């Protein structure tokens, strides 16, 4: 089962639909739910975890269940592949020690993404593609132990991954049909084995 944490994104159900279309059972859980109720009893069933986007800022206050999951994944208490999208990406960055702040420009619409490192997330994805972006904040640099996988002209960390653990973050929205190769990127995560090439 793919566990999807809903952080208030209007696109959360698109993540679930993509998972279903690719043959993966999934479940959406609200970020206000507790770890003890939503994750702990289901650990054997959970294959991977996706943190949705959302309208909030990660530095504004309580980040709920998503924060607990990121912390436990970073320290190894929870050993499940993790993908953060937009807000989820920013939360991983912040909790791993990176600076998250407002971008030079708020982004809403199509942005061209440049792939810097292949990794499993961008297998069979072109070096340049268009993606749907919707955010005010951004990760300003890769946190220690992470590698930048992609950037855009306005955002230095459009995608990143942990050097050793299966922890990924993308600033853009692969679940939205406007994103070229979005289904491929999600599919790569759902079936990915983490491999960094040429580092």
Identify the CATH number of the domain in which residue 133 sits: 3.40.50.880
**196 is a domain residue:** no
Judge whether 199 lies within some domain.
Answer: no
With b for 16 or more beta-carbon neighbours within 10 A and e for fewer, the 49-71 pattern comes to bbbbbbebbbeeeebbbbbbbbb
pLDDT, residue 61, reads 74
pLDDT in tens, 73-100: 999 999 999 999 999 999 999 999 998 8
**Is pLDDT above 90 for 3?**
yes
- pLDDT at residue 59 in the model: 84
Is pLDDT of 118 > 90? no
- Tens of pLDDT, residues 156-171: 999 999 999 999 999 9
Confidence of residue 38 (pLDDT cuts 50, 70, 90): very high
Q: Structurally, how many domains does the chain consist of? A: 1
Burial (CB count <10 Å: 0-12, 13-18, 19+), residue 4: buried
> Is 198 among the domain residues?
no
Quote the mean pLDDT of the chain.
Answer: 90
Percent of the chain with pLDDT over 70: 92
Residue 11 in any domain: the answer is yes
Residue 5 has pLDDT above 50, yes or no: yes
Average pLDDT over residues 6-31: 94
Beta 128-139 vs 100-115: how paired, if at all? antiparallel
Confidence at residue 193, expressed as pLDDT on a 0 to 100 scale: 57
What is the spatial distance between Cα 25 and Cα 41, in angstroms, rounded to a whole number?
17
Q: Catalytic positions, please?
A: 86, 173, 175
Give a yes or no: residue 6 inside a domain.
Answer: yes
Q: What whole-number distance in Å separates Cα of residue 149 and Cα of residue 114?
A: 9
In a domain, 181, yes or no: yes
Domain that holds residue 102: 2-191
pLDDT at 195 (0 to 100): 52
Question: Is residue 154 predicted with pLDDT exceeding 60?
Answer: yes
Instruction: Please report the pLDDT score of residue 194 as a whole number.
Output: 59
- Asked if residue 50 belongs to a domain, the reply is yes
pLDDT at 174 over 90: yes
* Residue 197 within any structural domain of the chain: no
**What is the band of 191 on the pLDDT scale with cuts at 50, 70, 90?**
confident
């Amino acid at each position: 089962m793919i566990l999807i944490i809903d952080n208030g994104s209007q696109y959360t159900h698109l993540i679930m639909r993509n998972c279903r279309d690719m043959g993966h059972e999934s479940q959406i859980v609200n970020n206000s739910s507790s770890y003890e109720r939503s994750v702990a009893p289901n650990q054997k069933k959970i294959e991977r975890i996706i943190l949705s986007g959302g309208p909030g800022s990660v530095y504004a206050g309580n980040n709920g269940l998503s924060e607990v999951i990121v912390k436990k994944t970073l320290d190894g208490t929870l050993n499940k592949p993790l993908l953060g999208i937009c807000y989820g990406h920013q939360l991983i960055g912040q909790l791993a020690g990176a600076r998250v702040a407002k971008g030079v420009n708020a982004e809403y619409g199509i942005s061209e993404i440049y792939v810097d490192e292949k990794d499993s997330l961008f297998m069979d994805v072109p070096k340049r593609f268009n993606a749907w972006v919707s955010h005010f904040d951004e990760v300003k640099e890769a946190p220690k132990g992470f590698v930048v996988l992609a950037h855009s002209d306005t955002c230095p960390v459009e995608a990143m991954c942990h050097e050793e653990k299966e922890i990924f973050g993308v600033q853009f929205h692969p679940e939205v049909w406007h994103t070229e190769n979005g289904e491929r990127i999600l599919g790569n995560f759902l079936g990915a084995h983490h491999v960094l090439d040429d580092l």
